[in-house]
Amino acid sequence: MHFMIDLRRLHVLRAVSHYGTVTAAARALHFTTSAASQQIRQLARDLGVDLLEPQGRGVRLTAAAESLLEHADAIEARWDEAEQDLRAGEGSPAGPLRVTGFPVAVAVLLAPMAARLRERHPRLSVRIREVEVAESFDLLFEGESDLAVVEATPVSPPSADTRFEQRPLLDEPFDLVVPVDHPLAGRAEADLADVAHEAWIAPLPQSPCRTHMVAACGAAGFTPDVVHLAVDWNVTAHLVAHGLGVALVPRLARLTPELPIVRVPCAGRPHRKLLTCTRSGGHRRAAVAAALEELRALAAAAVA
């Protein structure tokens, strides 16, 4: 039996797998839930297999759907490769380059990267979008972004996920931030155990940086007494400056310079891993390759 697969329907199935539910996939694709469900039912009829099965009040992918998705991801990657091959003769980087990153990455890496690319490749137009890590993966999956700087987190797609290419960019250390008159302010290195009994200023519980803070304190033998919560690193710095607690802040975060605070490197070097991410094969595009080259240089200088 011969049949033709509608790639649009295949993309809907990929979206259900990526977002976890038909409703979430439909929302991301700007479909109604019923329209997305209809696309999958028609794909199932085309193939003669069941693709969804009931699970509680929802549905889940069948084994046949999981098998099909492996091929669907490969098809998507081959289409991207075909596009790169068609553009291979265009010469220097040109056209739009859509990049995403979380706030610190945008401020310290992506903004200067865009400025450098503008000088070196005038025909290239970089478009930056500040988003959190999970949304960066969503935008790459949807084809709305070409390159992202992300933080490795336990809930991010694994490095073996064939839909994406994740490459190490840098290991960013965390510094202990204390008031300028704190006993540790003059140290070349701080042992977190020395601040075990102090008040702490922390990111929100769902933040990956909160996980790093708790892990670093746990390795030093204590659970931090979190008194204040802050989203923005400069808010954290102002709370420290007023003597309301201490904090762990990533090295790349640019803090208000006139504040009476000191950043002290930590024993054990707690850090977070920053990665670059593209869709599979995306690094072959001339514009992305140029951006990656600049990012590597900026990352090396940023933590030097």
Q: What is the pLDDT of residue 92?
A: 74
110-136 in b/e burial notation, b at 16+ Cβ within 10 A?
bebbbebbeeebeebbbeebebbbebb
pLDDT for res 30: 78
> pLDDT digit string (tens) for 76-130?
767 666 665 555 555 678 889 999 999 999 999 999 999 999 999 999 999 999 9
**What pLDDT, on the 0 to 100 scale, is given for residue 4?**
64
Indicate left, alpha or beta for 117 from its phi (over 0: left) and psi (-120 to 50: alpha): alpha
Q: Taken in order 211, 157, 141, 121, is the CA torsion positive or negative?
A: positive
**What are residue 262's DSSP bridge partners?**
178
Beta carbons of 176 and 246 less than 8 angstroms apart: yes
Please state, rounded to an integer, the average pLDDT across all residues of the chain.
88
Q: What is the pLDDT of residue 87?
A: 58
State residue 46's pLDDT score. Answer: 81
**pLDDT digits over 160-180, tens only?**
888 899 999 999 999 999 999
What distance, in Å, lies between the first and last C-alpha atoms of the chain?
61
- Kindly report whether the global pTM for this prediction surpasses the value 0.85: no
E strand map for the chain: 52-55, 58-61, 95-101, 124-130, 147-151, 164-179, 199-202, 225-229, 247-250, 261-265, 271-279
Is pLDDT of 62 > 50?
Answer: yes
pLDDT exceeds cutoff 60 at 2: no
Q: Is residue 114 within 8 Å of 171, Cβ to Cβ?
A: no
**In the predicted model, is pLDDT for residue 244 greater than 70?**
yes
In order, the DSSP letters of 208-236 are: HHHHHHHHHHHHTT---EEEEE-SSHHHH
Beta bridge partners of 201: 228
Q: Give residue for tokens 């302010």.
A: 185
**What is the rounded distance in angstroms from the CA atom of residue 44 to the CA atom of residue 56?**
21
Q: Which positions ≥6 away from 31 have C-beta within 8 Å?
A: 12, 25, 39
Looking at the chain, the whole-number percentage of residues with pLDDT higher than 90 is 59
Q: Which helix (H) or strand (E) segment is 35 a member of?
A: helix 33-47
Q: Which domains does the chain have, with CATH numbers?
A: 7-85 (1.10.10.10), 92-170+273-303 (3.40.190.10), 172-271 (3.40.190.10)
Tens of pLDDT, residues 153-163: 888 888 888 88
Percent of the chain with pLDDT over 70: 93
Contacts of 148 (CB under 8 A, 6+ apart): 99, 100, 101, 136, 137, 139, 140, 276, 277, 278
106 backbone φψ class: left, alpha, beta (φ>0; ψ -120 to 50): alpha
Q: What SS3 class is residue 154?
A: coil
Structure tokens at 190: 């701080």
Give the 3-state secondary structure percentages of the chain, helix then strand then coil, rounded to 5. 45, 25, 30
Beta carbons of 179 and 241 less than 8 angstroms apart: yes
Would you state the torsion angle of the CA atoms of residues 177, 180, 182, 186, taken in this order, to the nearest 10 degrees?
90
pLDDT digits (tens, 9 = 90+) for 257-282: 999 999 999 999 999 999 999 998 88
What local confidence, expressed as pLDDT, does residue 1 receive? 47
Per residue in 4-54, pLDDT tens? Answer: 677 788 788 788 888 888 888 888 887 888 888 888 888 888 888 888 887
pLDDT of residue 189: 95
